[in-house]
Amino acid sequence: MTTKGFKPAKDGFHPTQIKIEAELEHKRLSKEFKEQILSKLFSSQFFVFLITAAVIASGLIFIQKTTELEKIIEYWKIILPLITTYIGYAIGRARDSE
């Protein structure tokens, strides 16, 4: 090239070229990492976790507001199968994706 352009190094690579390639690789890896985080955040297992946490929280709130033991037991008889179903679904989905 001219005196103002890149002068080839002895090994054929110029330091600026290596720096640019390293930056591009870093951007590519950052993009892949972000996509991985978003895919886990919006996965079915995460939604199952949120639903399970909400169901458990509703049960705990119901316990605090109700003093009758019979009503509390009946409520948990409804909630516990839901919780185990959600957890089973999440575990099954995790095994299927492996």
Any domain includes 86 = yes
Any domain includes 83 = yes
Any domain includes 76 = yes
Any domain includes 87 = yes
- Burial group, residue 15, by CB count within 10 angstroms (0-12, 13-18, 19+): exposed
| Structural domain containing residue 48 | 15-97
Any domain includes 27 = yes
Given this model, what pLDDT does residue 87 score?
Answer: 80
Given this model, what pLDDT does residue 1 score?
Answer: 47
**H helical segments located in the chain:** 15-41, 44-65, 69-97
Given this model, what pLDDT does residue 6 score?
Answer: 57
Any domain includes 22 = yes
Domain count, the chain: 1
Any domain includes 10 = no
C-alpha to C-alpha distance for 56 and 59, rounded to whole angstroms: 5
pLDDT in tens, the chain (98 residues): 445 555 555 666 677 777 888 888 877 778 887 777 777 777 777 777 888 888 888 888 988 988 888 988 898 898 888 888 878 877 776 666 65
Residue at 79: amino acid letter: I
Contact predicate 48/89, CB 8 Å: yes
Any domain includes 6 = no
Distances (CA, A) of 71 to 3, 24, 29: 87, 61, 54
